[in-house]
Chains A and B, each alone.
Chain A
């Protein structure tokens, strides 16, 4: 089956620093990748949609200058949380859609803690 990996799985950083999270589709090409955020006991919140080679489309209320998304290849998208604050602490999940458009596969998530 299609596998999506995320790295790192957990990261702790200090306020004001930046953190990069990688999302890779391991055995398929993903023209579109998505980034979600999940707060405790809440549903997934779509943050942005990224298409390979073009700028990401951000959902309303998501700061594009704070959450930088790069989709440089058909198998890799990165989310950089810049100038992190404690309120950015959350569980970030990426997903990748395959070329059929019918499959969307999720990564295992990254737990970000900002101290």
Chain B
């Protein structure tokens, strides 16, 4: 049972525009959410996280939005750069428990 879903396997965006990556979850007990970025043949790297007590967290060009009522989170990248091209995974967890990962969205930023 996939508790965290990324329904878009791929996304293409023009350089300089906004990239919006979406993630849905089913377990209302999740209280902490993370986004990871992964380049080919490398391990995922942590990008940004958000606690369920917040609805927005911003770090430079990256902003994560959380809509608890919809069980939905999104990652916004503004402006998108070619170096942002990678696979992005969202993850959800509760303290001390397993992380659940989405299946990933492959972002291509076109120069």
Q: Spell out A's residues near B (CB within 8 Å).
A: 1, 4, 6, 34, 43-44, 46, 49, 91, 93-95, 97, 101-109, 111
Contact = CB atoms under 8 A, between A and B. Distances in A.
10 contacts: A43-B89, A94-B43, A95-B44, A102-B49, A104-B91, A106-B36, A106-B44, A106-B45, A106-B46, A109-B42
Residue from B32, B36, B43 whose CB has the most chain A CB atoms within 10 Å = B43
A44 B46 CA distance: 15
B32 A109 contact: no
B29 interface: no
Interface-centre pick from A46, A103, A106, A111 (highest chain B CB count, 10 A): A106
Interface SS of A by simple majority? strand
A91 B96 contact: no
A49 B49 CA distance: 22
Contacts, number: 49
Nearest to A5: B43
B52 to A, nearest CB: 12
B43 A108 contact: yes
B108 to A, nearest CB: 14
B101 interface: yes
Contacts of A107: 43
A44 B89 CA distance: 9
Contacts of A94: 43
B28 interface: no
Contact of B41 (A1, A46, A49, A111): A111
